[in-house]
């Protein structure tokens, strides 16, 4: 019974809630239907508008006042018009629903304009810069404002002196004048060299040249893209060098001083020399340091004495250009040459035949010494690093007993193969068949037999050496100057004479790789504006070279 009563109460409560909702919905609907627009207002916040132009709707604010007391923006309105039609006050009506409101926009017209160009003069042939033209408009409402949406039909300066132009804004125009001037050109240059004396054969530093260009408009400026001829100092004392820029030239004087040796270093690279014999100059390497801080090998040296006087270390003095240094040469004792106490062998290969004999001396054991044919292909690389020839035969001297080395040097003689030219005949020694070879210094006993001292066992090569033909001249068909655009490349192809030169390889270097780079194939690349000197040097030891001055300009 209690549960039934309780359930009855809950049901009554639910029915009451439903009734309240049902009664509330019509009330809300009625309330919404009763909300109505009481009146509207319109306000234009923009500036005066040029007659014939549209008003700016972004500057128009329309609000409505409703019966519920709320004041809100209205977006769905209609305008009586959008264009300002007259000077002064222009009335517009805005409609929303059944309500309307009016607002006013001030219309104005341009009464006159004025203009002037901010740059005093312009080079003839050039156009005016609109950003440098200032235009003011005076309107019917009395205001004067700077305007930028003007029209300039003609913009090019054609004549020297007064040039008149017309600028148009709205329906008004105004004239202004611009002075035309000549195209800026160099009329002359002035050059001066303020650096120190330069070693003969070297280039003066460009920073030590002060080159000024004088223009037709009276202005002057320092320039850096000039050329200097000749490019190097050629003589001691005063040198006249011609500086050129934009087709004009000026002379400067640069003092030249001789290239002098300030120190020497000498090294003997040959084999030990028998007491009483002379040291071969080609076995001496002399490196000089010069007064321009450069170093290089010199051959015009002399010796205090070239004769080896004692067994062991001999101190020889080397002189060059008033300087001297010392070097050690090992001397070995002479011996009585007796080929009957020795061994011999005939070497045959590829049609080349030579008889090799060794006089081992009275103390050595001939049975512990061998002469064997060597594979000519194994020494081919070593031969071709020194001479260009295919006429050679190689043999090896082997000590079966290492103690035999204590009896060195030994005397050796070989016969000149019948196919060889005696004048081009040589015997070479290589310790590893690959790299270093020493030419054996000896003498001919007769027209077919050559004798020399053997200081080490190892590989010996009998060769018919074709004389090296050195480069005699080296030049570029382009001449000594070249102009390149920034970012471009150019390939050099130097002419080498004679065409039959043995080694026609060249080396390319750039004085300013950051301006013009060059690879090992002679391809130039213009890296940035400026000037660089490209040197092309023969690699055959002839010392021949040529130079190319390259000027890089903007694209």
Please indicate whether residue 361 or residue 196 has the higher confidence score (pLDDT): 196
Tell me if the domain spanning 473-553 has CATH number 1.10.1040.10: no
At 266 the pLDDT is 95
494-507 as b/e: b if 16+ CB within 10 A: bebeeeebebbebe
Full DSSP string of 27-90: HHHHHHHH--EEEEEEEE-S--EETTSBP-GGGEEEEEEETTS-EEE--S-EES--B--SSEEE
Q: Which of 169-173, 176-180, 408-412, 467-471 has the lowest mean pLDDT?
A: 467-471
Q: Which residue has the tokens 């790789």?
A: 513
At 18 the pLDDT is 54
Instruction: Specify the CATH number for 110-181; select among 1.10.10, 2.60.120, 2.60.40, 3.30.2030.
Output: 2.60.40
At 541 the pLDDT is 79
CATH node for 342-464: 2.60.40
Please indicate whether residue 532 or residue 21 has the higher confidence score (pLDDT): 532
Full DSSP string of 203-247: PPPGGGEEEEEEETTS-EEEE---EEESSS--SSEEEEEEEEETT
At 467 the pLDDT is 67
Continuous segment of H or E residues that includes residue 23: helix 2-34
Above 50 in pLDDT, residue 369? yes
For residues 274-300, give the mean pLDDT: 90
8: which residues sit within 8 A by CB, 6+ positions away?
none
Continuous segment of H or E residues that includes residue 384: helix 380-386
Asked if residue 211 lies in contact with residue 222, where contact means CB atoms within 8 angstroms, the answer is: yes
pLDDT tens string 110-136 = 999 999 999 988 999 999 999 999 999
Q: What are the residues facing 79 on neighbouring strands?
A: 94
What is each CA distance from 189 to 221, 226, 238, 482, in whole angstroms? 10, 10, 22, 22
At 234 the pLDDT is 92
At 460 the pLDDT is 95
For residues 36-61, give the mean pLDDT: 93
For residues 461-473, give the mean pLDDT: 84
Q: What are the residues facing 41 on neighbouring strands?
A: 63
Q: Which of 325-329, 358-362, 500-504 has the lowest mean pLDDT?
A: 500-504
At 2 the pLDDT is 41
Work out the pLDDT band at 524, boundaries 50, 70, 90. very high
Domain boundaries 186-257, CATH class: mainly beta
Q: What are the residues facing 459 on neighbouring strands?
A: 396, 430
Distance between CA atoms of residues 247 and 225, nearest Å: 12
At 143 the pLDDT is 92
56-84 as b/e: b if 16+ CB within 10 A: eeeebebebeeeeeeeeebeebeeeeeeb
At 212 the pLDDT is 96
Above 70 in pLDDT, residue 25? no
Mean pLDDT in the chain?
Answer: 89
Q: Which residue has the tokens 């010494």?
A: 369
Work out the pLDDT band at 157, boundaries 50, 70, 90. very high
Work out the pLDDT band at 468, boundaries 50, 70, 90. low
Two tokens, residue 147: 């305007």
At 4 the pLDDT is 38
Cis preceding linkage at 230, omega within 30: yes
Asked if residue 58 lies in contact with residue 44, where contact means CB atoms within 8 angstroms, the answer is: no
- pTM of full prediction above 0.75: no
Domain covering 261-332: architecture? Sandwich (2.60)
Distance between CA atoms of residues 553 and 145, nearest Å: 46
For residues 490-511, give the mean pLDDT: 91
Above 90 in pLDDT, residue 386? no
């Amino acid at each position: 019974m209690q549960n039934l009563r309780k359930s009855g109460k809950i049901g009554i409560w639910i029915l009451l809630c439903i009734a309240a909702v049902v009664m509330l919905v019509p009330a809300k609907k009625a309330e919404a239907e009763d909300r109505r627009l009481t009146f509207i207002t319109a306000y234009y916040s923009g500036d005066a508008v040029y007659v014939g132009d549209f008003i700016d709707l972004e500057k128009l604010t329309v609000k409505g006042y409703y019966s519920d007391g709320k004041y809100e923006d209205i977006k769905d309105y209609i305008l009586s018009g959008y264009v300002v039609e007259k000077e002064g006050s222009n009335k517009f009506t805005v409609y929303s629903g059944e309500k309307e409101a009016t607002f006013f926009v001030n219309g104005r017209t341009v009464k006159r304009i004025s203009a002037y160009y901010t740059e005093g003069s312009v080079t003839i042939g050039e156009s005016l810069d609109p950003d440098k033209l200032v235009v003011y408009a005076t309107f019917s409402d009395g205001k004067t404002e700077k305007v930028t949406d003007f029209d300039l039909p003609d913009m090019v300066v054609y004549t020297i002196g007064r040039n008149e132009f017309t600028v148009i804004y709205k329906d008004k125009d105004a004239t202004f004048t611009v002075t035309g001037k000549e195209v800026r050109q160099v009329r002359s240059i002035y050059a001066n060299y303020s650096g120190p004396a330069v070693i003969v054969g070297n280039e003066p530093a460009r920073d030590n040249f002060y080159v000024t260009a004088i223009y037709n408009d009276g202005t002057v400026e320092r320039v850096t893209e000039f050329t200097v001829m000749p490019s190097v100092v050629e003589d001691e004392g005063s040198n006249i060098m011609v500086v050129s820029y934009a087709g004009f030239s000026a002379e400067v004087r640069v003092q030249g001083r001789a290239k002098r040796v300030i120190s020497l270093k000498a090294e003997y690279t040959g084999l030990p020399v028998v007491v009483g014999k002379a040291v071969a100059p080609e076995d001496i390497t002399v490196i000089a340091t010069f007064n321009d801080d450069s170093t290089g090998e010199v051959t015009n040296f002399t010796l205090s004495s070239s004769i080896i006087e004692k067994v062991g270390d001999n101190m020889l003095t080397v002189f060059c250009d008033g300087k001297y240094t010392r070097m050690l040469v090992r001397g070995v004792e002479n011996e009585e040459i007796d080929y009957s106490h020795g061994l011999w062998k005939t070497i045959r290969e590829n049609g080349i035949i030579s008889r090799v004999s060794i006089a081992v001396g009275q103390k050595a054991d001939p049975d512990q010494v061998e002469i064997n044919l060597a594979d000519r292909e194994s020494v081919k690389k070593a031969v071709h690093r020194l001479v260009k020839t295919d006429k050679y035969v190689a043999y090896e001297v082997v000590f079966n007993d290492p103690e035999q080395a204590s009896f060195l040097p030994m005397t050796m003689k070989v016969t000149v193969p019948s196919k060889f030219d005696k004048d081009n005949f040589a015997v070479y020694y290589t310790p590893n068949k690959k790299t270093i070879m020493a030419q054996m210094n000896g003498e001919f006993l007769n027209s077919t037999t050559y004798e020399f001292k053997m200081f080490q066992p190892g590989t010996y090569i009998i060769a018919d050496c074709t004389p090296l033909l050195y480069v005699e001249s080296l030049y570029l068909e382009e001449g000594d100057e070249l102009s390149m655009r920034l970012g471009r490349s150019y390939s050099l192809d130097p002419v080498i004479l004679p065409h039959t030169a043995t080694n026609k390889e060249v080396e390319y270097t750039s004085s300013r790789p950051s301006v013009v780079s060059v690879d090992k194939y002679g391809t130039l690349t213009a890296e940035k504006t400026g000037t660089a000197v490209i040197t092309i040097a023969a690699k055959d030891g002839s010392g021949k070279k040529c130079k190319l001055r390259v000027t890089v300009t903007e694209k």
